[in-house]
């Protein structure tokens, strides 16, 4: 586990050089939640309803905007309005993975105009560093301070090839673009596979595949619990069906929030 994961979000907010990372830690601390809701709903109405209902309990809402059947500018305008109302960030799980030239068009243009409304996006470094350079350039060119990138360093699906050298390369490339890359999507801390090279390095660990009731699904998804994820060095817990597909999504969100926050508090207490 990295030494930063033993510090509080408030301490990390103070020290972090990236404006969006600071804001994320401040939101988490203010709302006492490290839950990222993976809102994989397929209509605008359902997506906005879950965002509004669960907004008070989450730090970030993660979208797959291309699965929204009736997508229009109303979808993202609605999301941005609700994000402001409930004080959370929006993360589009786009997994950019192409040559830089294509990725810039996918990020800022097209039908989805992701750069306009998503605070956070993610990308795979399978194409090499150019994909991150392309996103970083767009962020710098627009002169905005509230946009950031996560590198997809590992995946939760059975047989994932995002391991070993690929994961190490993810960390190397993150260091080259540390102005915009604020962390990783991965299953655990990467400190063992790629130890920090600077004392103040603070990449944020987002962990998908978090579910309190199931071990996986029929299509290769593999789950861990909020407790195991936090013990492994995760900072933010990404949960989808465990929350939105629950009979009572609000109660489920509260339960995940409590479990994630308790695990966070015990981790920083143990380090004191
Ligand atoms: P679930 O309903 O909690 O299984 O949803 C998990 C979400 O996280 C879903 O949107 C996936 O696309 C996403 N995900 C993942 O499950 N595993 C990964 O390695 C990555 C993303 Br990267």
For the segment 190-235, what is each residue's pLDDT rounded down to a tens digit?
999 999 989 899 999 999 999 999 999 999 999 999 999 999 999 9
User: Residue 178's pLDDT is what?
Assistant: 96
Kindly state whether residue 20 falls inside one of the protein's structural domains: yes
pLDDT of residue 1: 80
- Residue 240 Cα to ligand 1 midpoint, Å, equals 7
The answer, yes or no, to whether any atom of ligand 1 lies below 6 A from the CB of 187, is no
Q: Is 1 helix (H, G, I), strand (E, B) or coil?
A: coil
Give the pLDDT of residue 145.
81
Q: How far is CA 49 from CA 61, 79, 94, in A?
A: 12, 10, 22
Bridge partners of 239? 37
Give nearest CA residue, ligand 1 atom 17: 156
CA distance 204 to 233: 10
Look at ligand 1, atom 3, and give the residue with the nearest C-alpha.
240
In a domain, 211, yes or no: yes
Give me the pLDDT at residue 142, please: 83
Structural domain includes residue 74:
no
Pocket test for ligand 1, best of 35, 37, 40 (most atoms within 8 A of CB): 40
Q: Which CATH number goes with the domain that contains 126?
A: 3.20.20.70
Q: What does the pLDDT read at residue 268? A: 95
Mean pLDDT by 10 residues, the chain (272 residues): 91 97 98 98 98 98 98 98 98 98 97 97 98 97 90 97 97 97 98 91 97 96 97 97 98 98 96 86
- Into how many domains does the chain fold? 1
- Decide if 193 is inside a domain: yes
Ligand 1: which residue has its CA nearest to atom 15? 208
Question: Is 60 inside any structural domain?
Answer: no
- Kindly report the CA angle at 221 between 28 and 148, in degrees rounded to 5? 35
Q: How far is CA 67 from CA 104, 155, 160, 199, in A?
A: 21, 20, 23, 41
Q: Which of 154, 223, 240 to mutate to test the pocket of ligand 1 (most atoms within 8 A of CB)?
A: 240
Instruction: Judge whether 138 lies within some domain.
Output: yes
Rounded Cα distance between 99 and 272, Å, is 45
The string of pLDDT tens digits covering residues 128-140 is 999 999 999 999 9
Give a yes or no: residue 56 inside a domain.
no
Q: Residues 4, 31, 93, 188: which is the catalytic one?
A: 93
Task: Give the structural domain span for 257.
Answer: 9-34+91-270
Contacts of 165 (CB under 8 A, 6+ apart): none
Tell how far the Cα of 62 is from the centroid of ligand 1, in angstroms: 10
129 in a structural domain: yes
């Amino acid at each position: 586990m990295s030494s930063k994961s033993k510090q509080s979000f408030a301490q990390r907010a103070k020290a972090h050089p990236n404006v969006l990372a600071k804001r994320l830690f401040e939101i988490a601390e203010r709302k006492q939640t490290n839950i990222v809701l993976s809102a994989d709903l397929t209509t605008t109405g359902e997506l906005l309803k879950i965002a509004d209902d669960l907004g008070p309990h989450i730090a970030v809402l993660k979208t797959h905007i291309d699965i929204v059947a009736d997508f229009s500018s109303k979808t993202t305008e609605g999301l941005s309005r609700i994000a402001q109302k409930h004080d959370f960030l929006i993360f589009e799980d786009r997994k950019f993975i192409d040559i830089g030239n294509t990725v810039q068009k996918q990020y800022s243009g097209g039908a989805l105009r992701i750069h306009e409304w998503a605070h956070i996006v993610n990308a795979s470094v399978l194409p090499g560093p150019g994909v991150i350079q392309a996103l970083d350039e767009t962020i710098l060119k627009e002169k905005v301070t509230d946009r950031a990138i996560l590198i997809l360093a590992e995946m939760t699906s059975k047989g994932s090839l995002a391991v070993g050298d690929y994961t190490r390369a993810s960390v190397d490339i993150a260091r080259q673009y540390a102005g915009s890359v604020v962390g990783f999507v991965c299953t655990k801390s990467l400190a063992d596979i790629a130890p920090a090279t600077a004392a103040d390095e603070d990449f944020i660990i987002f962990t998908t595949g978090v579910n309190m009731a199931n071990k996986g699904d029929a299509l290769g998804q593999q789950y861990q619990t909020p407790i195991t994820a936090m013990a492994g060095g995760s900072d933010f817990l990404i949960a989808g069906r465990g929350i939105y597909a629950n009979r009572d999504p609000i109660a489920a969100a509260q339960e995940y929030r409590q479990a994630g926050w308790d695990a966070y508090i015990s981790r920083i207490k143990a380090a004191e």
